[in-house]
Amino acid sequence: MAGRDGVKLLGYWASPFTLRVEWALKLKGVEYEYFEEDLPNKSPLLLQYNPVHKKIPVLVHYGKPLAESLVIIEYIDETWRQYPLLPQDPLEKAKARFWSKFADDKCVPAIFGTFTNVGEEKKKAANEARENLKTLESGLEGKRFFGGETIGFVDIAAAWLGCWARMVGEIVDVKLVDEETMPELCAWLENVLEAPIIKDCMPPRDRLLEHNKGFHKMLMAAAST
């Protein structure tokens, strides 16, 4: 049973890549059946549907699987036309793809590096993360959301990242998202996270923090053996 729209989503509750796909489906009002993956024991369904990466999220639409969260979101946007996520204008569309790629290629590794490293390496990664988040801010060009007045492609691609950067900062005691140096990015983040559909779909903060603290402990233990 994959609901009225024939959609299944294989995901993991604490995965930001799953979350962004859920946000896209919810904003569109697409019904889907959600399958929680046990990541240390991946389901045969996941291995069958994403043999290349063996990673979540995977969207299955009437039996046809798709992987890679941004690719999935573009598919969702092209298949269900209500509430468009990408702008229609090719130049604006290119800008949205550019900033989403920038978030994934430049911000994610730097934030993750702050989380997984210690000492000088951690400091270096934190500086890089701050610098890249500041650059991401420039993509707002003074607008409320990346796409203008409503939440769109870049907002759902990048908002979890601001959220995660804050949590990482809290766990490893480093400020990555700074109200003083990046006020526009902070205001944007609040605007996205306060939007009802987005807010309703967020995992509980305490549970997420506990989960990430546990993950960090495990990483540090592995690094010191």
Which residue(s) pair with 7 in the sheet? 61
- Closest approach, Cβ 90 to a copy of itself, in A, equals 4
Q: Which is nearer to a copy of itself, 15 or 61 (CB)?
A: 61
Q: Which is nearer to a copy of itself, 11 or 139 (CB)?
A: 139
- Closest approach, Cβ 216 to a copy of itself, in A, equals 25
Q: Residue 176 and residue 82: Cα distance in Å, rounded? A: 35
- Closest approach, Cβ 154 to a copy of itself, in A, equals 13
Q: Which is nearer to a copy of itself, 74 or 155 (CB)?
A: 74
Q: Which is nearer to a copy of itself, 36 or 78 (CB)?
A: 78
Q: Which is nearer to a copy of itself, 22 or 74 (CB)?
A: 74
Q: How many CA atoms lie within 13 A of 75 on its CB side?
A: 15
Q: Residue 183 and residue 80: Cα distance in Å, rounded? A: 34
Q: Which is nearer to a copy of itself, 94 or 118 (CB)?
A: 94
- Closest approach, Cβ 61 to a copy of itself, in A, equals 7
Footprint on this chain of a copy of itself (rule: CB under 8 A):
52, 61, 64, 66-68, 71-72, 74-75, 78-79, 90-91, 93-94, 97-98, 101-102, 135, 138
Count Cβ neighbours within 10 Å for each residue of 143-163 and write b for 16 or more, e otherwise. ebbbbeeebbbbbbbbbbbbb
Q: Which is nearer to a copy of itself, 50 or 116 (CB)?
A: 50
Q: Strand order in 58-61's β-sheet?
A: 33-36, 7-11, 58-61, 64-67
- Closest approach, Cβ 55 to a copy of itself, in A, equals 12
